[in-house]
């Protein structure tokens, strides 16, 4: 009897309903109350200290040590007024999660007494012993010190009884060891480049921000069932499990009525988010059973990245209160949709203009078109790097699997904007424009309706789609840190805008009229980047063929995709913009490869464990029942038993066959793992894990799932898809 599974099922069915304290009052009355934002700063800081933090946040100026002492003191007073006892530098190492080490506020004084203490030094910098974070060889273990440094652009917040201070994490020699450092540098690079280009249109623009609005998809599963699925527990996904009769084929879950249990969870975690100032606003059921999505109002990208990292943490913690587990893995279940995290990206000026929002006049539309076309040109130039920025072992299951954007990068514009670009291509020529041509073009551009936002046709199969006032990078995985792809977006567009400015200026030097010069360069980009534009079905086989004809890459696996991290083009991009130097970029490449290898390695080990300890024993147990049954028949029927026991005999044989394949495949996989482990570079190892180890997973799973389908339900040890995928 498979006691573990049944005990878990029973626990899941008999659990007590969760009482949650719904907060009193409207969200606006408590939103952000656990954040050291402008209101709290005004209340707890001197004007001088407040202004210095505000300038750091808005203008990127640095904060003097004396001022940092004042800020620390105000922050401490605010935190203590809310019952906080500890503080931590909160950072985003390259493990993909967040890191924190809590320290008490208190400091010993004489006679065994303590006082609460927290000064500018502790606020500004810490030196965690960081030897266990991935560094890609940057930090030798004998020089293990890395340090965290306060990032005043992202506000401090309280979680539990701890004051969390967002920081960057760098090596002792100054190299970036985290996601935030290059992100902040890319924000700066894009600000500079975009502000310069804005000067052609509007002298009042002095700063350009990047904006990000993410959409987080996730699954929920009952915690009791999760706890007896070792594959889910350790790898985040089910390595086994036959498809249930009813999955998502009826499409009855998407945007359906939210199950009560999930709704209670959502209410609870959203409340925590609101206290933390995370503006989550939208929630709905997703396509697969037990799959959901939440999305906030967009924010400045660095804050949005922090908020998403924080959200994932909050969700996991709040889920436990509800006897639920949240699955952020890109593909927890085979046969139903996986989860992504669309990254809606745009640029906004200090004058309040969204640079990717078409305007009302030809002049403002030329400004829009400038940023629009430059973004497309940048994506064309660095499509492979974008692909690399979303590559992970998890996301490989999703990309190109007819449910998510393909592994081919392309841009979707929609019919109207395609027409506008075609018109520019047709009408703008090398020479001077006649007054008539000018009027025509201005008319065309002027026609881009400002209602575009509401009626842009949607194409859900494109990895990078324009959706009216922003680009939506859809290929990002659900568990990813948005900072990776966002750093790349900012960098490639910054580089492109710098090129654009140089080309336009060269024409201006030749006395070409400004609008004409801009249009000429845009036309050139439109022509050059044509192949990246695709309006059709990105899931179709046709597109794969067409993309090949166009010379666009279709890179199905992570080890191959990551090659773009170490191309000459990428090194130059990041170095020229002062975002990552050669060594830092190389280190990131190695870390990404190592992470890939480790993930597949863990999956391989779990797979071998589960078949040896759970699946094969269950199969043998059931087979033994059949053998006894056949023996019994033999006793009663004598030599005639064979006809009567025909079915049982066949099943006994079939079970043996499945077991044999599973066992030999698992053994061969273990052999391949050993060989891969002995290879001498992260790249060779990752490729071996991808090409030699991973293929056995499908083989082993296929036969295990066959066993699940034929074996007595009472004996099967693992919770089944139909039990896990539907919240009760």
List of residues contacting Mg ion (CB under 5 A): 342
Stretch that binds ligand ADP, among 170-178, 208-216, 418-426, 587-595 (CB under 6 A): 208-216
CB of 473 to Mg ion, least distance (A): 10
Q: Is the dihedral of CA 326, 332, 338, 340 positive or negative?
A: positive
Question: Which C-beta is closer to ligand ADP: that of 376 or that of 433?
Answer: 376
Taking CB under 6 A as the rule, does residue 298 contact ligand ADP? yes
Stretch that binds ligand ADP, among 211-219, 371-379, 444-452, 698-706 (CB under 6 A): 211-219
> Quick one: which of 12, 154, 186, 211 contacts ligand ADP (CB under 6 A)?
211
Q: By CB under 6 A, which span of 296-304, 377-385, 435-443, 579-587 interacts with ligand ADP?
A: 296-304
Asked whether position 212 contacts ligand ADP by CB under 6 A, the answer is: yes
Q: Does 354 bind ligand ADP (CB under 6 A)?
A: yes
Q: Which is nearer to ligand ADP, 215 or 723 (CB)?
A: 215
If one asks whether residue 370 binds ligand ADP (CB under 6 A), the answer comes out as no
- The entry of ligand ADP, Mg ion, none near residue 44 (CB within 5 to 8 angstroms by kind) is none
For ligand ADP (CB under 6 A), the number of binding residues is: 15
Please give the helix or strand (H or E) that residue 80 lies within, else none: helix 65-81
Question: Considering the complex, what minimum distance in angstroms separates the CB of residue 694 from ligand ADP?
Answer: 32
Q: Hey, which residues between 311 and 330 contact ligand ADP (CB under 6 A)?
A: none
- Say whether residue 297 binds ligand ADP (CB under 6 A): yes
State the first-to-last Cα distance of the chain, in angstroms, to the nearest integer.
24
Q: Shortest approach of ligand ADP to residue 469 CB, angstroms? A: 5
Q: Give me the least distance between CB of 465 and ligand ADP, in Å please.
A: 9
Residue 298 partner contact from Mg ion, ligand ADP, none using kind-dependent CB cut-offs of 5 to 8 Å? ligand ADP
Nearer to Mg ion among residue 156 and residue 386 (C-beta): 386
Q: What is the DSSP letter of 143?
A: G
Q: Indicate the helix (H) or strand (E) that contains 348.
A: strand 341-349
Distance CA 288, CA 218 (A): 10
Q: How far is CA 268 from the centre of its chain?
A: 23
User: Which CB atom, from 125 or from 350, has the smaller least distance to ligand ADP?
Assistant: 350
Tokens 């249930």, located at residue: 244
Query: Could you give the CA distance from residue 395 to residue 346 in angstroms, rounded to a whole number?
Result: 24
- Are the C-beta atoms of residues 411 and 533 closer than 8 Å to each other? yes
Instruction: Copy the structure tokens of residue 400.
Output: 């190109």
Residue 414's binding partner, choosing from Mg ion, ligand ADP, none, with beta-carbon cut-off 5 to 8 A by kind? none
Among 346, 389, 462, 496, interactor with ligand ADP by CB under 6 A: 346
d(CA 366, CA 368): 5
Q: Which residue pairs, CB below 8 angstroms and at least 24 apart, start in 666-671? A: 666/607, 666/608, 666/611, 666/612, 666/696, 666/700, 668/696, 669/604, 669/607, 669/608, 669/693, 669/696, 669/697, 669/700, 670/604, 670/608
Q: Are 134 and 176 in contact (CB under 8 A)?
A: no
Instruction: Return the CA Rg of the chain.
Output: 29
* CA–CA–CA angle 483, 219, 312 (5° rounding): 35
Query: 354 with 476: CB under 8 angstroms?
Result: no
Q: Which does 297 bind (CB under 5 to 8 A by kind): ligand ADP, Mg ion, none?
A: ligand ADP
Instruction: Report whether 225 contacts 12 (CB < 8 A).
Output: yes
Q: Select the span of 35-43, 263-271, 340-348, 480-488 touching ligand ADP (CB under 6 A).
A: 340-348
Q: Which of residues 222-261 bind ligand ADP (CB under 6 A)?
A: none
Among positions 452-471, residues that touch ligand ADP (CB under 6 A) are 467, 469-470
Least distance from C-beta 224 to ligand ADP, angstroms?
32
Burial 302-340 (b: 16+ CB within 10 A, else e): bbbbbbbbbbbebbbebbeebbbbbbbbbbbbbbbbbbb
Give 42 or 460: the residue with its C-beta nearer to Mg ion.
460
Site string for ligand ADP, 467-506 (x = CB under 6 A): x-xx------------------------------------
Is 305 a residue that touches ligand ADP (CB under 6 A)?
no
Indicate the residue among 467 and 570 with the shorter CB distance to ligand ADP.
467
Binding site partner of 704, from Mg ion, ligand ADP, none, Cβ cut-off 5-8 A by kind: none
> Which residue lies nearer to ligand ADP by CB, 456 or 520?
456
CB of 168 to ligand ADP, least distance (A): 23
Minimum CB distance to Mg ion smaller for 342 or for 720: 342
Q: Are 259 and 304 in contact (CB under 8 A)?
A: no
Select the binding partner of residue 506 from Mg ion, ligand ADP, none (C-beta < 5 to 8 A, by kind): none
**Residue 217 near which of ligand ADP, Mg ion, none (CB within 5-8 Å, type-dependent):** none
Asked if residues 413 and 421 have their Cβ atoms less than 8 Å apart, the reply is yes
Q: Does 126 sit near ligand ADP (CB under 6 A)? A: no
At 88, list the tokens: 């931590």
Nearer to ligand ADP, 133 or 371 (CB): 371
**Cβ neighbours of residue 666 closer than 8 Å, sequence gap 6 or more:** 607, 608, 611, 612, 696, 700
Nearest distance, CB of residue 393 and ligand ADP, angstroms: 26
469 binds, among ligand ADP, Mg ion, none (CB under 5 to 8 A by kind): ligand ADP
3-state secondary structure 477-518: ECCCCCHHHHHHHHHHHHHHHHHHHHHHHHHHHCCCCHHHHH
* Alpha-carbon gap, residue 657 to 659, rounded angstroms: 5
Q: Which residue is nearest to ligand ADP (CB)?
A: 213
State the DSSP code for 557: S
In the bound complex, what is the minimum distance in angstroms from residue 457's beta carbon to Mg ion? 14
Smallest distance from the beta carbon of 452 to ligand ADP, in angstroms?
13
Based on the shown chain and the rule CB under 6 A, indicate whether residue 190 belongs to the binding site for ligand ADP.
Answer: no
> How does DSSP classify residue 151?
-
Strands 291-296, 208-222: parallel, antiparallel or unpaired by DSSP? Answer: antiparallel
* Residue 344 within binding range of ligand ADP, rule CB under 6 A: yes
Residue 146 β-bridge partners: 171
Tell me which residue has tokens 């310069």.
Answer: 196
Q: CA dihedral in degrees (91, 95, 97, 100; nearest 10)?
A: -40
Which positions touch ligand ADP (CB under 6 A)?
A: 211-213, 215, 295-298, 344-346, 354, 467, 469-470
């Amino acid at each position: 009897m498979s006691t573990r599974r049944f005990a878990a099922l029973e626990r899941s069915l008999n659990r007590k309903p969760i009482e949650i304290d719904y907060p009193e009052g409207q969200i606006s009355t408590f939103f952000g109350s656990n954040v050291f934002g402008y209101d709290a700063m005004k209340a707890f800081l001197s004007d001088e200290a407040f202004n210095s933090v505000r300038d750091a946040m808005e203008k990127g100026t640095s904060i003097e040590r004396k001022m940092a002492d004042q800020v620390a003191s105000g922050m401490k007073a605010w935190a203590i007024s809310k019952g906080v006892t500890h503080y931590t530098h909160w950072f985003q190492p390259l493990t993909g999660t967040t890191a924190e080490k809590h320290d008490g506020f208190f400091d010993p004084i004489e006679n065994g007494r303590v006082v609460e203490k927290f000064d500018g030094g502790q606020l500004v910098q810490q030196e965690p012993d960081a030897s266990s974070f991935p560094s890609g060889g940057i930090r030798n273990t004998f020089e293990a010190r890395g340090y965290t440094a306060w990032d005043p652009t992202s506000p401090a917040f309280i979680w539990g009884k701890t004051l969390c201070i967002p920081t960057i994490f760098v090596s002792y020699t100054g190299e970036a060891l985290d996601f935030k450092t290059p992100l902040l540098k890319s924000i700066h690079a894009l600000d500079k480049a975009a502000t310069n280009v804005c000067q052609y249109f509007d002298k009042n623009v002095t700063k350009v921000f990047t904006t990000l609005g993410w959409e987080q998809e996730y699954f929920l599963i009952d915690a009791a069932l999760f706890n007896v699925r070792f594959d889910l527990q350790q790898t985040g996904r089910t390595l086994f499990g036959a498809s249930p009769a009813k999955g998502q084929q009826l499409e009855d879950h998407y945007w359906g009525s939210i199950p009560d249990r999930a709704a209670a969870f959502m209410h609870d975690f959203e409340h925590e988010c609101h206290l933390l100032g995370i503006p989550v606003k939208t929630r709905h059921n997703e396509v697969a059973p037990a799959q959901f999505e939440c999305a906030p109002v967009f924010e400045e990208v660095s804050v949005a990245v922090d908020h998403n990292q924080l959200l994932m943490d909050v969700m996991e913690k709040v889920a436990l209160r509800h006897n639920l587990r949240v699955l952020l893995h890109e593909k927890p279940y085979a046969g139903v949709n996986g989860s992504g995290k669309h990254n809606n990206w745009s640029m906004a000026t200090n004058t309040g203009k969204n640079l990717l929002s078409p305007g009302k006049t030809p002049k403002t539309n030329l400004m829009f078109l400038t940023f629009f076309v430059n973004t497309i040109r940048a994506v064309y130039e660095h499509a492979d790097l974008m692909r690399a920025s979303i590559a992970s072992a998890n996301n490989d299951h999703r990309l190109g699997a007819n449910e998510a954007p393909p592994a081919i990068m392309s841009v979707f514009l929609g019919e109207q904007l395609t027409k506008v670009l075609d018109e520019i291509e047709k009408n703008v020529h090398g020479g001077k424009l006649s007054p008539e041509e000018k009027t025509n073009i201005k008319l065309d551009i002027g026609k881009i309706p400002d209602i575009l936002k509401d009626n842009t046709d949607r194409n859900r199969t494109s990895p990078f789609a324009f959706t009216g006032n922003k680009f939506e990078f859809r290929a990002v995985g659900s568990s990813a840190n948005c900072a990776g792809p966002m750093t790349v977006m900012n960098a490639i567009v910054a580089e492109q805008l710098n090129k654009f400015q140089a080309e336009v200026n060269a024409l201006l030097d030749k006395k070409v009229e400004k609008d004409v010069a801009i249009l000429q360069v845009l036309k050139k980009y439109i022509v050059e980047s044509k192949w990246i534009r695709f309006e059709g079905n990105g899931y179709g086989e046709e597109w794969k063929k067409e993309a090949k004809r166009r010379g666009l890459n279709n890179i199905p696996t992570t080890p191959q995709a990551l090659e773009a991290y170490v191309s000459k083009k990428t090194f130059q991009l990041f170095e020229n913009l002062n975002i990552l130097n050669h060594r830092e970029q190389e280190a990131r490449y190695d870390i990404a490869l190592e992470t890939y290898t480790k993930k597949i390695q863990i999956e391989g080990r779990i797979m071998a464990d589960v078949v040896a300890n759970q699946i094969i024993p269950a199969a043998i147990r059931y087979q033994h029942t059949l053998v006894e049954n056949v023996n019994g028949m033999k006793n009663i029927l004598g030599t005639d038993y064979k006809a009567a026991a025909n079915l049982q005999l066949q099943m006994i044989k079939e079970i043996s066959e499945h077991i044999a394949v599973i066992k030999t495949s698992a053994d061969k996989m273990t052999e391949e793992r050993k060989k891969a482990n002995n290879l001498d570079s992260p790249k060779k190892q990752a490729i071996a894990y991808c090409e030699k180890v991973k293929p056995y997973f499908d083989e082993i799973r296929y036969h295990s799932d066959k066993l699940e389908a034929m074996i007595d339900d009472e004996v099967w040890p693992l919770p089944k898809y139909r039990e896990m995928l539907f919240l009760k």
